[in-house]
Amino acid sequence: MMLEIPVYDATGKQLKSLQVDETLFGKKVRRELLRLAVLRIENNRRVGTAATKSRGMIEGSTKKLYRQKGTGRARMGTRRTNLRRGGGVAFAKQPRSFRQDLPKRARRAALDSALLSKMLDGSVIVLDKLTVTEPKTKQVAELLKALGIEGTCLLSIAEQNPTVWKSARNIPRLRVRPVAELNPWEVVWPRRLVFTMDAFDALVKARSN
């Protein structure tokens, strides 16, 4: 099946539609693989430095506080138990790595599924030309307004462009990424995906070879 991706100019006028073969992106959305890829990215961002002290790490005597029977009180062991104030923590957390990995082919397939999902939802548009002459937030803000984009958005460009990045960094809920650096999390996060024409051509060409 051929997908139609609309192409707009900077004024928000639709110029044409691009025909894209969905088989380039894997024919179907592999949701379970996409879920694993997104979880992998989120887990790899975790620092993993949380730490608490178990009862074995608390300083103090291990002597039983008072005898087991005959006091009329509830039985009690060491002062380091997790039941007492200042005692250790039950199932104490220790620093650990949450890092996960996926094979390269699986990561690529997950990215294709994320892109295909957005295309099927009609959330992808192509910008005929992106002209940002100087780092001014106003230029990018006016572009988004002309395209009718509100809420979260990912702007994908062909290559690193400091001028575009500086112009977009003060706009809430907008991310700018080169097309070669896209990952499944960044594709599924926004409501709308905007590709420059050069970036979209590179995206399709990489999957046609």
Residue ranges per structural domain of the chain: 2-40+102-208, 47-97
Rounded Cα distance between 112 and 25, Å, is 5
Rg of the chain over CA atoms, in angstroms? 27
Q: Which CATH class is domain 2-40+102-208?
A: alpha beta
Of the chain, the percentage scoring pLDDT greater than 90 comes to 89
Residue 209 has pLDDT above 80, yes or no: no
Predicted pLDDT of residue 191: 94
CA dist 69 and 57 (Å) reads 28
> What average pLDDT does the structure give for the chain?
93
pTM of the model: 0.84
Q: Summarize pLDDT for 123-152 with one digit per residue, the tens.
A: 999 999 888 889 999 999 999 999 999 999
pLDDT tens, position by position, 54-113: 999 999 899 999 999 999 999 999 999 999 999 999 999 999 999 999 999 999 999 999
The pLDDT of residue 158 is 92
Q: How far apart are CA 17 and CA 191, in angstroms?
A: 20
Residue 174, SS3? strand
